[in-house]
Structures are given as C-alpha cells and as structure tokens.
Amino acid sequence: MTKPLKLLWLSIIALLAVTLVESAQAQILVGAALVKAARKGGAPEDVKAIAKEAWLYAYAPLQGYRIFYNQTQNRDFPGYLGGVNRFRHDARPSTSSDAAIVASDNDTRYSWAWLDLRAEPMVLSLPAEPSRYYVNQWFDLYTHNFAYTGVRSTGRAAGNYLFAGPRWKGSVPEGITQVFRAETEFIGTLTRTQTHGPDDVAALQEVQAKYKLQPLSAFVGSGAPPAAPSIAFPRWDEKKAQGLEFISYLNALLPFMLTPESEKDMFKRFSAIGIGAGKAFDASRLKPEVRKAIEEGIAQASNELKKFSSTQTDSAAFYGTREFLGKDYILKRNTGAVLGIYANSREEAVYAADQLDRTRKPLEGTDGPKPALMDGSWKQPPLTPAE
C-alpha cells in the first residue's frame, strides 16, 4: 500500500471512530439527563411532569402529522394527494369513508394540498370569482390557522399570494398581491368551494381547476434553487404516537418548526427526556423507573385532555392563529384537534358539539335507549323561511 493511500485509510478510520464516539456520547448525555431529572428532588416526579407537559405540547402537531403523512407519503391511503405542492380536488359529495377530518360538509367540496417551503416559497394564484363562495384555509405544523385567502378574507378579484417559510430571506417580486409567512416549513390548505348540487359538478370543477400552485421561481420565470434534501418521514402508527414514541415523532417534526423565543425554556426542560430537533430516541435504553415515570406522565396528560375536551360545546376558542389562541394556546389547539382537527376559525364557521348525555356520561349510544336519531322515530320539523 502506498503511503498516500495508507494515510487516506487512516483518516477514514479516524473519522468513523470520532462519529461513533460522538454518537455514544450523545446517548450517554441523554441518559444522564434522564437520570438527573429523575433524581432531582429525590423522586421521578420531575420526569413525570416533564413528560406530561411535552406530550400535551406534541399532541396537536402529531395529529396534524397523521394527516400530512397519510396524504403525502402513504400511497395506500384513500385520500393520498400524490405528494406535495399540488392540489387534489374532490367534486363528489363527502361520505362516511372520508375520515381525514370529522364533520365534513356537503355544501362545499374539498381541495387539499400540502406545501414544502424549504427550497423556496410557493405562489397560489386565485381566479376572479363573481358569484361562487370559496375559502382557502391555511394551517401550519402546529395546526394553527395562520392565514386565509378567498372571498371573505381577500375578496373576489384575482390575486397571487406568496407563502414563505420561516427561514426564507428573499425579496418579493412584482405581481404578488399579499405575502403570508409561516412558522413551519410545511403548511397545508383545506380549501372549500361552494356547490349547488349534483347538476353543478362540471361548473364546480372548472372553478377548482383555476386554483394554481407554483414555486416562486416558476412564477417569476427564473431558474429554480437547489432542491431541498429528501426526508425519510416516520411511518404513522397511532399507538406509538400516543405512547412513549411520541418523542420520536416530535423529534422528527421539530427541524421543520420554528421554535418561538417564548418556548426555548420549555424545550430545555423537554431535553431531559430526550426531546430535541432531529435527535434519535431509543425507548429501550430507558431505565425502568424513568420509563415508568414518562408513561405515567403521558397517561395523566391524555386523561386530562379527554376530560376537558368532552365538556366543550363551542368551538370558537379553539381554532385560529397562535396570537388568537393566547396564553393557553397548547390546551386550545389540542382541544381543537380532539373535537375536529382543521376546523375553520370563527370568522368562517361556527361548530357546536354535545358529547355528554343528561347524566354527564359520554354520548356513545352503546347502552340505554337509542336516541331518536338512531331508532328512526325522529322527523324533521317544518322549516319557516327567513324573512
């Protein structure tokens, strides 16, 4: 072996050794942080409290990830969109098999899209629409409704709307009607377009086809920037996401979510149980007492969220921007995700819910007399037209 080749091999071996050492050190640091948190104050209650807080923080984003993953990555999912940066339009009426969200309506037809804003912004071009109502609801990975375009919010005139991620520093070109900046690198839209019944399908589809998405570079006619790196998104597993592995899912999402200054202290606490952007998490390495404390924190968080959500009858407070949700934004966005993820903000729609019966038990219909709606005895009362 020549001397230069020998030196090359020695360099490669040294690099691999450093990488392995750094990986082992990272695992040791996480383990040490867990042990420290468990021993702080002489009990694992600190770990339990941190796990409870972190699980609640992650709940709504992970429920949003469930939809994102199925619609953009899961080719076996009935509502698969074919990837990102494109619309999928539905002109047919919604049925019980449409399970992406709850309480879908048949006064409008849905168009879904998810945008990847890492490489460059995307531009939404909307047509002039003199009579038909439509609304583009935009949400981020936190599930906050951060923007609206459409008849109510931006008017009936045609327009071009630029959506940029948190790290974009480019200039806004001519021809852009309005700019919306997101806190996350991936955003989604649930677009609703008014329909006038079965005979309206062709006209409805004509309007939907005029909703155009394109990268900013295509809009201005310039060369495209380098593509963003491909991502190995973790396969969605509801049971894992609700348990210890919520940490793995959250860690996978965090690189694409801008952490506000107000949350940085919170994430310092979360780091004690292995939470951090892009970090690997191995539940099998947890000490039994630490694992038990985390699981207890998760159980407590889940029970409290279910109990609170089951008593809510008005959705108005649970959907909107981070600023609108206010200081209790985590509880509110979680409740919104339980009641019906990606519901509209109150300016667009009002939703009512009654989840308990007169004895304050869950309204499940599994025991006791069937409600009138289920036994067929209910009849619609006569309607009086509004004056």
Instruction: Report the pLDDT value the prediction gives residue 106, as an integer from 0 to 100.
Output: 74
Spatial CA neighbour of 168 closest among 243, 117, 232: 117
Name the pTM for this structure.
0.82
More confident of the two residues 373 and 271: 271
pLDDT band at 91 (very low <50, low <70, confident <90, very high): confident
Question: Diameter of the chain by CA atoms?
Answer: 95
Distance CA 145, CA 324 (A): 10
**Residue 355, pLDDT above cutoff 60:** yes
For 326, other C-beta atoms within 10 Å of its C-beta total: 11
Instruction: Report the pLDDT value the prediction gives residue 326, as an integer from 0 to 100.
Output: 97
**Residue 137, pLDDT above cutoff 70:** yes
Task: Assign 59 to helix, strand or coil.
Answer: helix
Pairing of strands 159-164, 178-181: parallel
Tens digit of each residue's pLDDT (9 = 90 or more) over 287-296: 999 999 999 9
**Residue 42, pLDDT above cutoff 50:** no
**Residue 4, pLDDT above cutoff 70:** no
Pairing of strands 145-150, 186-194: unpaired
Instruction: Report the pLDDT value the prediction gives residue 18, as an integer from 0 to 100.
Output: 41
Q: Which of 41-55, 81-95, 222-236, 356-370 has the highest mean predicted lDDT (pLDDT)?
A: 222-236
Size (the chain), residues:
387
Q: Are 69 and 236 within 8 A, CB to CB?
A: yes
- DSSP code at position 209: T
pLDDT band at 104 (very low <50, low <70, confident <90, very high): low
Mean pLDDT of the chain: 86
Report how far Cα 287 is from the mean position of its chain's Cα atoms.
Answer: 31
Tens digit of each residue's pLDDT (9 = 90 or more) over 298-349: 999 999 999 999 999 888 999 999 999 999 999 999 999 999 999 999 999 8
Instruction: Report the pLDDT value the prediction gives residue 349, as an integer from 0 to 100.
Output: 87
Instruction: Report the pLDDT value the prediction gives residue 117, as an integer from 0 to 100.
Output: 98
More confident of the two residues 195 and 359: 195
- Torsion sign, CA atoms 307, 354, 144, 105: positive
Instruction: Report the pLDDT value the prediction gives residue 30, as an integer from 0 to 100.
Output: 47
**Residue 352, pLDDT above cutoff 90:** no
Residues above pLDDT 70, as percent of the chain = 76
Residue 310 host element (H or E): helix 288-310
**Residue 96, pLDDT above cutoff 90:** no
* Residue ranges per structural domain of the chain: 10-63+233-310, 69-220
Query: Which of 58-62, 98-102, 275-279 comes out lowest in average pLDDT?
Result: 98-102
Q: Are 248 and 225 within 8 A, CB to CB?
A: no
Instruction: Report the pLDDT value the prediction gives residue 53, as an integer from 0 to 100.
Output: 98
Distance CA 74, CA 38 (A): 38
For 197, other C-beta atoms within 10 Å of its C-beta total: 10
Q: Are 147 and 342 within 8 A, CB to CB?
A: no
> Token pair for residue 346?
């109150």
> Token pair for residue 131?
């009579």
**Residue 69, pLDDT above cutoff 80:** yes
**Residue 370, pLDDT above cutoff 90:** no
For 298, other C-beta atoms within 10 Å of its C-beta total: 21
> Token pair for residue 76?
């076996």
> Token pair for residue 124?
């939404």
- Adjacent-strand bridge partners of 115: 187
Domain range 69-220, CATH architecture: Sandwich (2.60)
